[in-house]
């Protein structure tokens, strides 16, 4: 019993000291912010901007249809091996699968037969030429022997070109299906054991995801407000603190009667490959208002306390103040102000709430 009590006390003490060690020092004895805490802060420099109307619509990520290659089989066969999965990055010329093809095997056999025939015709040509030189064969005989030899050479070139085109193996009757371009496999419609046919539906699709499209669904009541060139900000639940910015590059002329929407395309840079096709997103489209300007601060910088809105104005680690603000209007992730902040002042954004409760 005594040992059990000692063990419980030990656990409590360990928990207490562990918690104490992780506590963050915000304000030091000198009434200045601790250096480590300052590193955790982010700032916004107050400035005027037009009070824009924000149009919020849903959408999803898609690959760039202008930078996509859909592979359609050139020959029939059965998939016997696959070296990729959906989403993989592949390089141009990389072998993606092997296809066993009876059609290719026929070409391979025809090539072998043609090469055997060429050996026979080469020997026959040498004999006829020797006979021609000795006066026992006519020039017509020599011409016919040469003609037959050239015809079979052309047959061999034709069969070899097909084998090269299909990436075929003469001995196995298999051809290697190679990536037509570098990029990600964004669609796959084949599996091991599957029969493929020429001129069928694409069996896989390759697209470079460095730039993606976001397809925005514009409801009928908003169509008059949407045009190409408008700025847009895109948010995903996967990366809540990341804002993806782009412009509307295309607005469809066809209205989707089933979903009652018109689709608009927003082109986004995606160098870090964070955005994946089929991700659902929230889209905030900026409708410019060139009449009214006001100072704005990020919503994240505003602290609500005792029915008042506050921000922390920061000069340096020893000079900062909590200041009341008066809101003009909130637009998406911005709050436009009537008063409280001057242009050029530095406003704490990240950890503003934490700092507010430490200094108040």
188 and 212 belong to one structural domain? no
Which tokens hold the place of 345? 């002042």
Residue 45 lies in a domain: yes
Q: What per-residue confidence (pLDDT) applies to 6?
A: 40
Mean pLDDT by 10 residues, the chain (360 residues): 40 38 50 86 91 88 89 86 90 89 81 91 91 87 90 90 72 79 90 87 90 94 91 91 91 89 94 91 85 88 92 91 91 87 94 85
Residue 10 counted as domain residue? no
Residue 272 sits in the same domain as residue 333:
no
pLDDT, position 9? 38
Instruction: Provide the β-strand partners of residue 55.
Output: 285
pLDDT computed for residue 26 by the predictor: 52
Per-residue confidence (pLDDT) for residue 28, from 0 to 100 = 53
348 and 298 part of one domain: yes
- Residues 234 and 355 occupy one common structural domain: no
Asked if residue 166 and residue 41 are part of one domain, the reply reads: no
Query: Residues 80, 197: one domain?
Result: yes
221 and 106 in a common domain = no
pLDDT at residue 22 in the model: 42
If asked whether residues 131 and 171 sit together in one domain, one would say yes
pLDDT at res. 251? 94
Q: Same domain for 81 and 40?
A: no
Q: Is residue 4 part of a domain?
A: no
If one counts every other C-beta atom within 10 angstroms of the C-beta of residue 125, the result is 17
**Judgement on whether residues 140 and 61 belong to the same structural domain of the protein:** no
End-of-domain residue from the set 265, 287, 309: 287
Total number of domains in the chain: 3
Domain of residue 47 covers 25-51+292-359
Which CATH number fits the domain that encloses residue 258? 2.40.30.170
């Amino acid at each position: 019993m005594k040992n059990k009590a000692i063990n419980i006390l030990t656990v409590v003490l360990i928990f207490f000291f562990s918690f104490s060690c992780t506590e963050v020092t915000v304000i030091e004895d000198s009434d200045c912010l601790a250096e480590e805490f300052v590193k955790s802060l982010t700032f916004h420099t107050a400035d005027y901007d037009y009070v824009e109307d924000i149009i919020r619509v849903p959408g999803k990520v898609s690959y760039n249809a202008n930078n996509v290659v859909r592979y359609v089989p050139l020959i029939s066969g059965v998939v016997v091996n696959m070296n990729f999965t959906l989403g993989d990055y592949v390089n141009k010329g990389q072998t993606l699968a092997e296809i066993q093809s009876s059609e290719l095997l026929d070409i391979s056999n025809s090539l072998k037969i043609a090469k055997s025939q060429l050996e026979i015709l080469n020997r026959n040509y040498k004999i006829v030429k020797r006979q021609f030189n000795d006066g026992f064969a006519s020039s017509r005989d020599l011409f016919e022997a040469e003609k037959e030899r050239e015809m079979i050479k052309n047959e061999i070139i034709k069969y070899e070109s097909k084998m090269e085109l299909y990436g075929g193996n003469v001995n196995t009757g298999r051809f290697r299906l190679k990536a037509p371009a570098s990029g990600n496999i964004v669609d796959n419609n084949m599996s091991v054991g599957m029969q493929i046919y020429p001129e069928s539906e694409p069996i896989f699709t390759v697209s470079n995801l460095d730039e993606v499209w976001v397809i925005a669904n514009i409801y009928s009541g908003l169509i008059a407000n949407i045009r190409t060139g408008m700025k847009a900000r895109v948010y995903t639940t996967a990366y809540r603190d990341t804002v993806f910015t782009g412009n509307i590059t295309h607005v469809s002329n066809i209205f989707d009667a089933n979903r009652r929407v018109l689709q608009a395309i927003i082109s986004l840079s995606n160098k870090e490959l964070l955005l994946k096709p089929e991700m659902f997103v929230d889209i905030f489209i900026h409708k410019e208002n060139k009449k009214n300007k006001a100072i704005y601060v990020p919503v994240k910088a505003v602290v609500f306390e005792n029915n008042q809105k506050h921000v922390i104005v920061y000069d340096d680690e020893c000079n900062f103040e909590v200041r009341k603000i008066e809101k003009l209007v909130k637009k998406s992730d911005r709050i436009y102000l009537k008063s409280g902040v001057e242009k050029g002042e530095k406003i704490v954004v990240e950890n503003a709430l934490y700092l507010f409760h430490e200094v108040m």
